[in-house]
Amino acid sequence: MYPNVSAVIPTYNGEKTVEKSILSLLKQDYPMLNIMIIDDGSTDKTLSILEKYNRNIKIIKNEENLGLSKTLNKGIKLAGDGEFLFILHDDCELVGNCWISSAIRHFSNEKVGAVCGEFCVPDPSQLRLAQKIFLVLNNEIFFERDVKKVPFSLLKADLFRLDALRKVGGFSSPGNSKFGMEDQIMGSKFKNTGHLILKDPSLKVYTHVGSRQDTFDRLLKKEYLYGKSTAWALINKLAEVNAGESQQFKRKIRYRQLKLASVTLSTICLITSLVWQPLLFVIPLIQLIQFVRYFLIAKNNLYFKLRDKEKLLFAGVGVISDWIYSYSFYYGAIMGTLHGLRKTLVS
């Protein structure tokens, strides 16, 4: 007996990649699979692409851009009496036709609330330099060797127990914003209810990156949004710093901590130099250390072949991203604290 699985692809301006996502779902061998796509107010050609598949899938159109959390929660409601909800991002493609049937076996353990897979790039040579930098800077290219318990899934290709999602009230984001931290907040909710999240490296997923991180300004904008939402969620205890058993997540956390440490120390030196000016000379030294560290990361990465000029650019973008991420983190911490105070006063 196969349990019912509802699959949802949330998409927003996904014209470059969403068709690959659709086709990878349509070729799955799982017999009890219902597919729906929720368009979150796309302004490109996404809708015309979706119409080609309206006989095979259910298409839902948001009247306005609601953001990922509200779009996914709409998917939970539309799933009805199904037992599982599969979420596939519009820039991801399942590898093979037995992804879902393989993932569902993990749910023989009643404590498992979600299962996610391993991400890889189908053709690294086709990526633009900004995309390569984004993937390496955020430690996206890292392969686990066996099934691991992880603190959260990335909401890219994830199979969830529907009753577990409904028990925790569905998805949410910091301050009801449209961007960021939905994955980590859900991980924190699942921890509180005792549900496990497993990452199975045999479940391969191609990530096509799409048009969202194909230029440096978009990459840096993402760093800004991520820093702000991370701090907001941490301050309001919606998420926590936790790597689980995953070496990839441990490296991600360490990278972010080093970003904050370098910028915070530089800022302290800058302020203190008003009293003792020689501390100004410490700031370029700290930044030089970070620049060299990023250059070595670029040099030692085994996934992308970068020329020497590209390695230098990688290091420069890394240092700039440190400042953008850190100051947006400070801003998010301030706004999160004010939100918490207002909530306390109101209650």
Boundary (domain end) residue, out of 147, 179, 208: 208
Q: Which amino acid appears at position 134 of this protein?
A: F
Is the residue at 225 inside a domain?
A: no
**pLDDT score of 174:** 72
Residues 102, 201 within the same domain: yes
**Which residue type sits at 139?**
N
Which pLDDT score is estimated for 139? Answer: 73
Verify that 182 and 253 share a domain, yes or no: no
> Tell me: the pLDDT tens digits for 207-241?
886 555 567 888 888 889 889 988 988 888 877 77
pLDDT band at 143 (very low <50, low <70, confident <90, very high): low
| CA dist., res. 255 & res. 346, Å (int) | 37
Same domain, 44 and 147: yes
pLDDT band at 257 (very low <50, low <70, confident <90, very high): very high
Q: Are residues 195 and 275 part of one domain?
A: no
Question: Do the domain assignments include residue 237?
Answer: no
Instruction: Please state, as a whole number, how many other Cβ atoms lie within 10 Å of the Cβ of residue 129.
Output: 18
Residue among 160, 3, 195, 145 nearest 76 (CA) = 160
Are residues 53 and 121 located together in one domain of the fold? yes
Examine residue 294 and state whether it is found in any structural domain, yes or no: yes
Same-domain check for residues 253 and 204: no
**What is the token pair recorded at 147?**
């099934």
Spatial separation of the C-alpha atoms in residues 144 and 247, rounded to whole Å: 7
CB proximity list for 161: less than 8 A, separation 6 or greater: 83, 84, 107, 112, 113, 114, 195
- Both 329 and 275 in one domain: the answer is yes
| Position 347 pLDDT exceeds 90 | no
Number of domains in the chain: 2
Whether 21 is in a domain gets the answer yes
Q: Is the pLDDT score of 344 beyond 90?
A: no
User: Which tens digit of pLDDT belongs to each residue from 40-85?
Assistant: 999 999 999 999 998 889 999 999 999 999 999 999 999 988 899 9
DSSP alpha helix (H) spans, the chain: 18-26, 46-51, 68-78, 99-103, 129-137, 162-167, 182-193, 216-235, 247-272, 282-300, 308-346
Are residues 150 and 45 part of one domain? yes
Give the number of other CB atoms < 10 A from CB of residue 286.
17
Q: Indicate whether 145 pLDDT > 80.
A: no
Q: First-to-last CA distance in the chain?
A: 49
Residues 202 and 251 in one domain: no
Residues 52 and 170 in one domain: yes
**Is 128 part of any domain?**
yes
At residue 252, the 3 state secondary structure works out as helix
What is the rounded average pLDDT for all residues in the chain? 89
Q: How many CB atoms lie within 10 A of CB 254?
A: 12
Residues 160 and 293 in one domain: no
Q: Judge whether residue 267 has pLDDT over 70.
A: yes
Domain end marker among 177, 208, 239? 208
- For the cut 60, the answer to whether the pLDDT of residue 245 exceeds it is yes
Provide the domain limits for residue 36.
5-208
The domain that contains 198 carries what CATH number? Answer: 3.90.550.10
Give the rounded percent of residues in the chain with a pLDDT score beyond 70: 95
Q: Does residue 15 lie within any of the structural domains?
A: yes
Q: Identify the domain boundary among 208, 225, 259.
A: 208
Residue-level pLDDT at 216: 83
Domain presence at residue 224: no
Work out the average pLDDT over 22-38.
Answer: 95
Tell me if 241 is assigned to some domain: no
Give pLDDT tens digits for 174-202.
765 655 778 888 999 999 999 999 999 99
Same domain, 82 and 142: yes
